[in-house]
Amino acid sequence: KQEVTQIPAALSVPEGENLVLNCSFTDSAIYNLQWFRQDPGKGLTSLLLIQSSQREQTSGRLNASLDKSSGRSTLYIAASQPGDSATYLCAVARIQGAQKLVFGQGTRLTINP
């Protein structure tokens, strides 16, 4: 059974800092991994999708890496801004049953002005 863990559960940093969010998964037989952002009371917004054959993806100030063999992914946010405050979720699509995204519990990020 695939389990996804995100540490820390909450993180508070001052504006302008670079930061890293962590995601680990137990089964390395994955199809892809996605990072999402969720604002309070809202749905999920896809940030980055990394296919299993890729090592990283970049979008603006965001960079996501994937190390399938160790079961880890990181989301790097450069030059954080108050508008980055949200809950960040990672989700894994397994090779068997790839349509079922398995989510971590999320990291609640607060950027202080």
Where along the sequence are the contacts to other proteins (CB under 8 A)?
A: 4, 31-32, 34, 36, 42-46, 49, 89, 91, 93, 97-106
Indicate the pairing of strand 10-14 with strand 107-112.
parallel
Closest by CA to 84, choosing from 54, 45, 56, 50, is: 45
Compute φ and ψ for 83, nearest 5 degrees. -70, -10
At 7, list the tokens: 């540490």
Q: How far is the CB of 54 from other proteins (least distance, A)?
A: 13
Q: Which lies closer to other proteins via its Cβ, residue 82 or residue 97?
A: 97
Q: Which lies closer to other proteins via its Cβ, residue 96 or residue 113?
A: 96
CA angle 113, 17, 61 (to 5 degrees): 105
- What is the 8-class DSSP label of residue 8? -
Q: How far is the CB of 14 from other proteins (least distance, A)?
A: 25
Peptide bond into 82 cis (omega under 30): no
Q: How far is the CB of 17 from other proteins (least distance, A)?
A: 25
Q: Which lies closer to other proteins via its Cβ, residue 55 or residue 100?
A: 100
Q: How far is the CB of 35 from other proteins (least distance, A)?
A: 11
Q: Which lies closer to other proteins via its Cβ, residue 32 or residue 65?
A: 32
